[in-house]
């Protein structure tokens, strides 16, 4: 049975969080200084959670935390330094957090359609940041997540994926474009497939330890994620008109944060893991008739999830 909530595609995140008392719960939101990340943090903090926004630019993070605290009228948001394109930075963040109970980890940060660039460990930047960085982060925080799990409530990991996963599965022969021609959209699609597969693999390993993980497609939203795209390309893709006006159907950043918030707190998802969610519901299978919605089989394939998990351990040196 497909899981559904009472919310819709354009429900604001604050409404999704509104009925919940998150007092005493700890949350980390990566990339929480802008875009849907800051609105995810705002909604959860307004509901009472203590939120750390984990960001590469600490100055921007401190500024965002101050704005968030002012907007909710309470000091519940702090900033932490995290560069997902550097595994040493990820390790330092994990060490700084320690074993303090972590109720919700929202792996929100990401890059999209970049030129061919590489992480500090010489991984292709998109999958290196979007997947491998979050893999090391989540595994490093697994003990903290287990420490937050209670008899009647599991800890949760929320993985930001995208309909972009339809562009590519994992290219097992050359993940990092060492020998093949680089395609920025294929690389993005591969990284978003990896995000969904990680939720499958993580839930398989940690469900019995009190943690679930689900992937989220937030929808079409104009955010800093589009920083590498010229206007001409976005016009050609049908995202905006020639004057730069965003087309109908795109969400606001607060609406775009709603499925992340539902994945973090929705009662319907208690004990449910390895799912792909969109518009505050479990996604239906992708079809050609509605190509901007749904999930393709390769993003939820358990054998691919196991294969990716093995490669992730080998690449990062992080193992159970």
Write out pLDDT tens, residues 21-63: 999 999 999 999 999 999 999 999 999 999 999 999 999 999 9
How crowded is residue 28: how many other Cβ atoms within 10 Å of its Cβ?
26
Domain count, the chain: 1
Residue 320 lies in a domain: no
CA distances from 102 to 50, 194, 292 (A): 10, 23, 33
Residue 239 has pLDDT above 80, yes or no: no
Q: Is residue 319 part of a domain?
A: no
Chain segment 243-287, per-residue pLDDT in tens: 666 655 678 899 999 999 999 999 999 999 999 999 999 999 999
Three-state secondary structure call for residue 277: strand
DSSP conformation class of 19 = T
Residue 309 has pLDDT above 80, yes or no: yes
Q: Do the beta carbons of residue 4 and residue 279 sit within 8 Å?
A: no
Range of the structural domain that residue 75 is part of: 13-310
Is the model more confident about 302 or about 228? Answer: 302
In a domain, 98, yes or no: yes
Please determine, for residue 225, whether its predicted confidence score (pLDDT) is greater than 60.
no
Closest to 202 (Cα-Cα) out of 275, 270, 130: 275
Where residue 28 sits, what CATH number does that domain have?
Answer: 3.40.50.720
Q: Which one of 177, 182, 188, 276 is the catalytic residue? A: 188
Q: Which residue has the higher pLDDT, 233 or 166?
A: 166
Please indicate whether residue 188 is annotated as part of the active site.
yes
pLDDT tens digits along 165-191: 999 999 999 999 999 999 999 999 999
Tell me whether residue 161 is in a domain: yes
The reported pTM is 0.93
The pLDDT tens digits for 96-147 are: 999 999 999 999 999 998 999 999 999 999 999 999 999 999 999 999 999 9
* DSSP per-residue codes, 206-251: HGGGTEEEEEEE--SB-SGGGGG--HHHHHHTTSB-TTSPBPTTPB
For residue 97, the tally of other CB atoms under 10 A from its CB is 19
Q: Where are the beta strands (DSSP E) in the chain?
A: 26-30, 50-55, 77-81, 104-107, 155-160, 211-217, 276-278, 281-282
């Amino acid at each position: 049975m497909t899981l559904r909530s009472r919310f819709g595609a354009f429900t604001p995140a604050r409404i999704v969080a509104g009925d919940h008392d998150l007092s005493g719960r700890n949350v980390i939101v990566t990339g929480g200084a802008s875009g849907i990340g800051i609105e995810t943090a705002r909604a959860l903090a307004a509901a009472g959670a203590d939120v750390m926004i984990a960001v590469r630019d600490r100055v921007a993070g401190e500024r965002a935390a101050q704005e968030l605290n002012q907007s909710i009228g309470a000091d519940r948001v702090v900033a932490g330094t995290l560069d997902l394109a550097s595994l040493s930075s990820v390790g330092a963040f994990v060490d700084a957090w320690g074993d303090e109970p972590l109720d919700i980890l929202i792996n929100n940060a990401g890059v999209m359609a970049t030129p061919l660039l590489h992480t500090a460990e010489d991984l292709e930047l998109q999958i290196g940041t979007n997947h491998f960085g979050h893999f090391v982060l989540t595994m490093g925080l697994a003990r903290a997540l287990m420490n937050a799990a209670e008899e009647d409530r599991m800890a949760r990991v929320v993985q930001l994926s995208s309909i972009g996963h339809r562009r590519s599965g994992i290219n097992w022969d050359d993940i990092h474009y060492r020998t093949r021609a680089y395609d920025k959209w294929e690389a993005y699609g591969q990284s978003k497939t990896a995000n969904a597969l990680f939720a499958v693999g993580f839930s398989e390993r940690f469900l019995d330890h009190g943690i679930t993980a689900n992937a989220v497609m937030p929808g079409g939203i104009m955010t800093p994620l589009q920083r590498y795209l010229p206007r001409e390309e976005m016009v050609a893709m049908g995202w905006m008109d020639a004057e730069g006006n965003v087309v109908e159907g795109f969400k606001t950043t607060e609406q775009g944060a709603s499925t992340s918030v539902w994945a973090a707190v929705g009662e319907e998802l208690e004990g449910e893991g390895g799912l792909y969610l969109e518009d505050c519901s479990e996604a239906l299978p992708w079809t050609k008739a509605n190509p901007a919605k749904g999930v393709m089989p390769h993003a939820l394939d358990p054998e691919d999830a196991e294969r990716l998990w093995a490669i992730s351990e080998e690449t990062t040196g992080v193992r159970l």
